[in-house]
Amino acid sequence: MSERSWEDGTDPGVTIVEAVADASGRRPRDLPPLQRAVDVDALEALLTGDGGTRFRVEFRYADVHVVVDRDAVVASEPAAETGR
């Protein structure tokens, strides 16, 4: 499992790819494009939008279950462990 906090100025897509790479034991450059799993522009719009709206987005990327929420945390773990 890998958890990452959003840092000011850090691209959310990069943070997600790094978390998935950590969780899966692969290098970020060996992963497929994130856009194949989720609409990155829409996800970034949620993260940078009005802070009053709570949300949770779950998706599968490179055989890893990924959870993104407003609290600026990305948690990922191998999909086989989650049963999803």
pLDDT in the model for residue 60: 93
pLDDT above 70: residue 4:
yes
pLDDT in tens, 44-77: 888 877 767 788 899 999 999 999 887 767 777 6
**What domain range includes position 16?**
2-82
Contact 64, 81 (CB under 8 A): no
Q: Is the pLDDT of residue 82 over 60?
A: no
Entry pTM: 0.82
Count how many domains the chain has.
Answer: 1
What is the layout of strands, in order, in the sheet containing 2-5? 2-5, 73-78, 64-69, 56-61
The rounded radius of gyration (Å) of the Cα atoms in the chain is 12
